[in-house]
């Protein structure tokens, strides 16, 4: 690249620096200015970052921006430990909205070895451990921006006709692209590690769902290995309350698998639209989730991420379908993710998972099950907090309010099962098997609300 073009690239690029430490913000501002970068902006929290990017803080619905929408900045340089929101979560939301159009570089006092799974899931473009070398930081900012601009030029030139977007690091395919005979029609959901597409097989009329690991995630051997394990395990399951895997393969060295397409939405979206779901629907959901968990526990596997977002409601069959076995492990297995790192969805995680306990058991999934059923009945999760740290404290030390506090018609027997038993702080105080939960659930069919 011509030196004049490099200088123009730097002056034309806009950067947002996000850190709650004013001294670090000022340092980065000074260093970036001296290196010729213009268009610098500084904020100190996750909420400020989202607002700066033109995004709503309180919702994640409809976050994918049209391709014509110009992002507020070219690059976000952000600390992962913010006072309100997790930098990983903010990064994930920015990447879901803007994809490769915004480069996100994360900074952390933890090493990449300790955090790379979350870094990949968030979709970050680069990671800088603190304390960082300033010369290295500038070099990596320049390189990230150069790659972004080169990728945009390639996309504009349309030189690669076969799945051009997938050849870029964003890994997003377009409608009409072909994945080994599966034709893409729409994007159902996306994240830093994978994208879920709505597809048909060749010229077939039956909708199916194809989950493809992103190229960035596939570069990490353990992430790719975990994805393959997810495919193998879920494909081995045959249960009416578990999404069925139909096929699997590789596309440009990235693994994928094909599932039945569920005509409906996840339970999180449903409860957001209707806080007081009818009793008949709640009991069907609670029963179906319990039976799905019994099935996998009987196979010696723990799900570890039971959440309303990972459970679909099949409107045609009026049944739930459990999905996303990405962080599931065999019982007694102590490490599939980095030691001491919490995994799962914090709204529904058991206390021992926040503590980084090396061994978990069926009671861990039962806590998450209880948190999900609580949310379905009460219209809100057991605990609500402004950040993940406060949420962890509540799960570790506080007892949720009885569900009848939020829905007065709920009989006390439901609070006994969900709040007192399933959501007990100590794993040994919870039901130890899903058979116990199902037996108690059966008695509650005569206790409507």
**Which tens digits make up the pLDDT trace of 318-369?**
999 999 887 788 886 644 444 334 456 788 999 988 766 556 799 999 999 9
Residue of 26, 144, 152 whose CA lies nearest to 76: 144
User: Tens digit of pLDDT for each residue in 303-320?
Assistant: 988 999 899 999 999 999
**Which residue in the block uniquely carries the two structure tokens 């980065």?**
28
What secondary structure letter does DSSP report for 57?
S
User: Tens digit of pLDDT for each residue in 188-198?
Assistant: 876 657 888 99
Name which CATH class applies to 166-260. Answer: alpha beta
What is the average pLDDT across 6-15?
A: 68
User: Tens digit of pLDDT for each residue in 135-149?
Assistant: 878 988 998 898 888
* pLDDT score recorded for residue 337: 45
The tokens of 73 are what? 């900045």
> Burial level of 246, CB count in 10 A (0-12/13-18/19+)?
middle
* pLDDT score recorded for residue 172: 66
What is the average pLDDT across 238-254?
A: 93
List 148's β-bridge partners, or say none.
Answer: none
What is the average pLDDT across 235-249?
A: 93
* pLDDT score recorded for residue 358: 54
Q: Which CATH superfamily is domain 3-157 in?
A: Response regulator (3.40.50.2300)
Q: Do 3-157 and 264-446 fold alike per CATH?
A: no
Q: Is the domain defined by 264-446 classed in CATH 2.60.120.590? A: no
Mean pLDDT of the chain: 84
Backbone CA torsion sign across 153, 155, 158, 164: positive
**H or E element, residue 200:** strand 194-201
The tokens of 127 are what? 């990671």
Which residues have CB under 8 Å from 205's CB, separation 6+? Answer: none
What is the average pLDDT across 66-73?
A: 74
More confident residue, 228 or 402: 402
One-character DSSP codes across 161-186: -SSHHHHSTT----TT-EETTEEEEE
Percent of the chain residues topping a pLDDT of 90: 48
> Burial level of 421, CB count in 10 A (0-12/13-18/19+)?
middle
| pTM exceeds 0.85 for this model | no
Domain ranges, ordered by start, for the chain: 3-157, 166-260, 264-446
What secondary structure letter does DSSP report for 308?
G
CB atoms inside a 10 Å sphere around CB 197 = 25
Cα 360 to Cα 426: distance, rounded to the nearest angstrom: 12
* pLDDT score recorded for residue 23: 85
Cα 321 to Cα 413: distance, rounded to the nearest angstrom: 26
The tokens of 281 are what? 């629907």
Which residues have CB under 8 Å from 341's CB, separation 6+? Answer: 114, 115, 117, 118, 356
List 16's β-bridge partners, or say none.
Answer: 41, 76
3-state DSSP helix/strand/coil % of the chain, to nearest 5: 45, 20, 40
What is the average pLDDT across 267-279?
A: 92
Cα 380 to Cα 274: distance, rounded to the nearest angstrom: 11
Residue of 371, 188, 175, 370 whose CA lies nearest to 266: 188
Pairing between β-strand 264-266 and β-strand 311-314 as defined by DSSP bridges: antiparallel
Cα 71 to Cα 55: distance, rounded to the nearest angstrom: 11
């Amino acid at each position: 690249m011509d030196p004049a073009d490099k200088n123009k690239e730097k002056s034309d690029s806009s950067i947002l620096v996000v850190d709650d430490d004013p001294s670090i913000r000022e340092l980065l501002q000074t260093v970036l200015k001296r290196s010729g970068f213009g268009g610098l902006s500084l904020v100190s929290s996750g909420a400020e970052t989202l607002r700066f990017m033109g995004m709503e803080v309180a919702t994640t619905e409809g976050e994918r921006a049209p391709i014509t929408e110009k992002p507020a900045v070219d690059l976000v340089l952000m600390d992962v430990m913010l006072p309100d929101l997790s930098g990983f979560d903010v990064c994930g939301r920015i990447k879901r909205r803007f994809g490769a159009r915004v480069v996100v570089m994360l900074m952390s006092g933890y090493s990449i070895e300790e955090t790379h799974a979350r870094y990949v899931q968030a979709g970050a473009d680069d990671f800088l451990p603190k304390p960082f070398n300033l010369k290295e930081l500038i070099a990596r900012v320049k390189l990230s921006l150069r790659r972004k601009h080169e990728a945009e030029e390639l996309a504009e030139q349309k030189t690669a006709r076969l799945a051009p977007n997938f050849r870029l690091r964003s890994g997003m395919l377009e409608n009409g692209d072909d994945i080994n005979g599966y034709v893409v029609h729409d994007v159902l959901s996306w994240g830093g590690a994978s994208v879920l597409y709505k597809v048909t097989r060749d010229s077939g009329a039956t909708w199916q769902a194809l989950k493809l690991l992103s190229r960035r995630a596939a570069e990490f051997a353990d992430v790719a290995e975990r994805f393959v394990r997810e495919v193998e395990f879920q494909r081995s399951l045959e249960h009416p309350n578990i999404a069925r895997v139909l096929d699997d393969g590789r596309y440009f060295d990235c693994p994928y698998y094909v599932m039945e397409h569920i005509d409906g939405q996840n339970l999180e979206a449903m409860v957001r639209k209707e806080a007081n779901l009818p009793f008949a629907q709640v009991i069907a959901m609670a029963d179906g989730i319990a039976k799905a968990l019994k099935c996998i526990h009987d196979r010696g596997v723990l799900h570890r991420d039971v959440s309303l977002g990972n459970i679909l409601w099949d409107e045609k069959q009026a049944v739930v379908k459990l999905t996303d076995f990405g962080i599931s492990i065999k019982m007694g297995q102590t490490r599939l993710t980095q030691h001491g790192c919490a995994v799962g969805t914090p709204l529904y995680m058991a206390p021992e998972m926040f503590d980084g306990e090396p061994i978990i058991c069926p009671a861990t999934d039962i806590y998450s099950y209880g948190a999900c059923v609580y949310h379905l009945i009460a219209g809100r999760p057991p605990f609500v907090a402004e950040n993940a740290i406060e949420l962890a404290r509540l799960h570790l030390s506080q007892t949720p309010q009885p569900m009848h506090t939020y829905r007065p018609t709920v009989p006390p027997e439901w609070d006994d099962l969900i709040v007192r038993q399933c959501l007990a702080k100590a794993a040994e105080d919870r039901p130890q098997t899903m058979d116990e939960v199902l037996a108690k659930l059966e008695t509650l069919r005569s206790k409507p609300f």
